[in-house]
Amino acid sequence: MGPEVGGFEQEFADYHHSRYCVGVGSGTDALILAMRAIDIGAGDEVITVSHTAVATVSAVVATGATPVLIDIESAYYTIDPNLIEATITKKTKAIIPVHLYGQPCDMDAIMWIASKHGLRVIEDCAQAHGAVYKGRKVGSTGDIGCFSFYPTKNLGAIGDGGAVITNNKEIYERITRLRQYGWDDNRVNQEPSAVSRLDEVQAAILRVKLHYLDVDNNKRIEAAALYNKALVSKEWELPVVRSDCNHVYHLYVVKLDDRDKIMYKLSMANIDAGIHYQYPAHLHSGIMRKALVPKKLEATEKVVRQILSLPIYPEVDVASVLKAIEDLE
């Protein structure tokens, strides 16, 4: 919590044209502290998706609140705004859109519903650093944006780290307190809290790497374009980018019917394709008992059987992956 953390917070806030940034210990902590900062806890409901990293949903459970899990838009893999209003109750406090795989959610629709019902919006940006929705970086449209700097993320440290961004001074001050002993500016405890600091060494590395975030994202976008061009002739469903958005391809995900067979064959060719995610969050036993699933998640349950993530990162050798795919036939 020295000059590197302070410097990074300033630079990460500036990158988003946001007023404030608070560095924390992980992306999960960013979500938990964001919810705690707006007094979300036992008895409250938070609407999000089941098709996400389990961390999104387990963070809601960790606050004591009840996750209410709804379906996704199958083409974009993000929360279906048309399903939100039917699940709002008197207990609903917030919506957590997840910009999954690097694809921005339909923020206009989400913000409209939130403002109509007096709900907060906490953006889970752990897979979408630098993604753009209608000219605005993700994380800067909702009340709070939450980021992870786990090493594999688009902006990764060499260990754990996370951050929240916000334009709201009260939320900023509360999260600053909650990340360290519940301390106020005079180091007097004001409320019980955990400790979740961004480490000085991680911040120093993130300050250097932030300069390369857009460059690295562009390399991912170029790799995705090469995949798109080569795979268009196959009967696979390729990623669709929401209009007026920049998808930053944390993952390059295709849908195909013989997914398991293709994944196995690629693994035999030393190509490390993956499934994100094999289980919708509501099927994890720890969450199943705590979450509400008001309506069958038809799109979610269908896509988890079809999705395959091809290797993507700034240095990925697309040609060798494509060669391996060609050799499958």
Ligand X SMILES: *Cc1c(COP(=O)(O)O)cnc(C)c1O
> What is the binding site for ligand X (CB under 6 A)?
26-28, 52-53, 55-56, 98, 124, 126-127, 148, 150, 160, 162
Q: Give the sign of the dihedral formed by CA 123, CA 129, CA 130, CA 132.
A: negative
Helices 54-62/27-37 angle, 10° precision? 40
Q: How far is the CB of 147 from ligand X (least distance, A)?
A: 8
Of 24 and 324, the one with the shorter C-beta distance to ligand X is 24
Name which of 209, 46, 226, 25 is nearest 129 in CA terms: 209
In angstroms, rounded to a whole number, what is the distance separating the alpha carbons of residues 167 and 17?
A: 9
Closer to ligand X by CB, 304 or 325: give it: 304
Q: How far is the CB of 127 from ligand X (least distance, A)?
A: 5
Nearer to ligand X by Cβ, of 162 and 280: the residue is 162
Residue closer to ligand X, measured from CB, 81 or 161:
161
Q: Toward ligand X, which CB reaches closer, 124 or 216?
A: 124
Helix (H, G, I), strand (E, B) or coil at 146: strand
Q: At 139, is the secondary structure helix, strand, or coil? A: coil
In whole angstroms, the minimum distance from the beta carbon of 317 to ligand X comes to 24
- Tell me the closest approach of the beta carbon of residue 54 to ligand X, in angstroms: 8
> In the complex, what is the shortest distance from the CB of residue 319 to ligand X, in angstroms, rounded to a whole number?
28
Greatest C-alpha distance within the chain: 67
Dist CA 255 CA 179 (whole Å)? 40
- State which residue, 99 or 120, has the beta carbon closest to ligand X: 99
CB 50: neighbour CB atoms within 10 A?
Answer: 26
CA 9, CA 30: separation in Å to the nearest integer? 14
Burial class (CB in 10 A: 0-12, 13-18, 19+), 208: exposed
Residues 6 or more apart from 218 whose CB is under 8 A from it? Answer: none
| Of 80 and 160, CB closest to ligand X | 160
Residue nearest to ligand X (CB): 27
